C-alpha cells in the first residue's frame, strides 16, 4: 500500500495530534505485530468510548479524531474516524466507509428523534492488512449490545466485521440499504447533504434538551 492519503494525517483523522498519540500509547506498549495492535485499538474504541447517537455536533472541529480521543462517548462516524486515525498513527493504512442501514432493533427514543429507523451515513473503518482492505465496525460497545440482545462485533482480520443481519434470537437487526463507498478523508459536505436530505427536521434549529444535543 503506497498511497500516502491512507497513512498520513488529515484535518479530520489528525493522527499526529497529541490526544491521538496518547490514545494509542497502550497499543504501542504491547508486544506483538501490527495486527495485535490494531485489534487492541479496535476494542479500545469499541468499549472505552460508549456509543451515543444523541450527542451530535456537525461542525468540522468537533469531528476531528483528537476531539473524540479525550471523551468517553461518540457516535459511529466519530468512533470510526478515531479508529482510522489511531491505526494511521501506528503506521497502518486506514480509511473510512459509509452506508445507510435500517435498524430493526432501534429504540423508540432514537426513532422518534430521527423520525425513521434508517441510520444515514453510518460510519465504519477499513484497514490494510495482508495486502487487502478489511472493513471493521468498532461502534456498538459491548454493554449496548447486551441490552439489544446481539453479540458485540469482534475484531476479525480475515473477514472483517459489519453489523449482523439478526440478533441472538434470529430476529432482524441491521439491514444495509446503500453503500456510499470508501474515503481517505471524511466527506463532510456529502455527509451533511445526506443528513439534511433524510433528516431535514433536525436542521430547523439546534437542539439541547432531554439528553439530546444536535448542533450544526
Residue 198's pLDDT is what?
96
Residue 95's H or E segment, with its range, is strand 94-103
Partners of residue 102 on adjacent β-strands? 118, 175
Residue 153's pLDDT is what?
94
- The residues spanned by each domain of the chain are 4-215
Residue 165's pLDDT is what?
72
The residues near 210 (Cβ < 8 Å, ≥ 6 apart) are none
DSSP structure string for 153-202: PPP-TTT-----SB-TTS-B-EEEEEEEEEESS--HHHHHHHHHHH-GGG
- Where does residue 56 rank: exposed (0-12), middle (13-18), buried (19+ CB within 10 A)? buried
Helices (H), the chain: 18-23, 25-28, 34-48, 65-68, 76-89, 108-114, 142-148, 188-198
Place of cell 481517505: 184
Question: What is the value of pTM for the model shown?
Answer: 0.94
The CATH fold assigned to 4-215 is: C8orf32 fold (3.10.620)
Rounded Cα distance between 174 and 165, Å, is 5
Residue 171's pLDDT is what?
78
The residues near 2 (Cβ < 8 Å, ≥ 6 apart) are none
Closest C-alpha among 171, 103, 176, 109 to residue 140: 103
Tallying the residues shown for the chain, one arrives at: 216
Rounded Cα distance between 149 and 161, Å, is 17
Residue 207's pLDDT is what?
85
Residue 92's pLDDT is what?
97
Cα within 13 Å of Cα(141), Cβ side: 16
Give the pLDDT of the chain (216 residues) as one tens digit per residue.
Answer: 568 999 999 999 999 999 999 999 999 988 889 999 999 999 999 999 999 999 999 999 999 999 999 999 999 999 999 999 999 999 999 999 999 998 756 667 888 889 998 999 999 999 999 999 999 999 999 999 999 888 999 999 999 998 877 667 777 788 899 999 999 999 999 999 999 999 999 999 998 887 899 999
Residue 106's pLDDT is what?
63
Residue 20's pLDDT is what?
98
Amino acid at each position: 500500500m503506497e498511497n500516502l492519503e491512507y497513512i498520513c494525517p488529515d484535518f479530520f483523522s489528525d493522527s499526529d495530534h497529541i490526544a491521538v498519540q496518547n490514545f494509542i500509547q497502550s497499543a504501542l506498549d504491547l508486544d506483538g505485530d501490527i495486527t495485535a495492535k490494531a485489534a487492541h485499538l479496535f476494542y479500545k474504541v469499541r468499549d472505552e468510548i460508549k456509543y451515543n447517537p444523541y450527542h451530535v455536533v456537525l461542525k468540522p472541529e468537533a469531528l476531528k479524531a483528537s476531539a473524540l480521543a479525550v471523551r468517553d462517548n461518540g457516535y459511529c462516524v466519530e468512533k470510526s474516524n478515531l479508529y482510522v486515525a489511531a491505526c494511521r498513527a501506528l503506521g497502518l493504512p486506514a480509511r473510512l466507509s459509509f452506508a445507510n442501514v435500517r435498524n430493526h432493533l432501534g429504540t423508540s427514543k432514537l426513532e422518534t428523534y430521527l423520525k425513521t429507523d434508517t441510520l444515514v451515513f453510518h460510519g465504519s473503518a477499513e484497514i490494510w492488512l495482508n495486502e487487502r482492505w478489511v472493513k471493521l465496525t468498532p461502534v456498538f460497545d459491548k454493554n449496548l449490545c447486551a441490552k439489544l440482545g446481539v453479540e458485540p462485533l469482534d475484531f476479525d482480520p480475515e473477514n472483517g466485521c459489519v453489523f449482523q443481519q439478526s440478533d441472538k434470537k434470529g430476529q432482524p437487526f441491521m439491514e444495509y440499504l446503500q453503500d456510499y463507498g470508501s474515503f481517505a478523508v471524511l466527506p463532510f459536505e456529502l455527509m451533511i447533504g445526506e443528513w439534511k436530505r433524510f433528516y431535514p427536521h433536525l436542521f430547523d434549529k439546534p437542539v439541547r434538551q432531554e439528553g439530546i444535543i444536535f448542533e450544526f
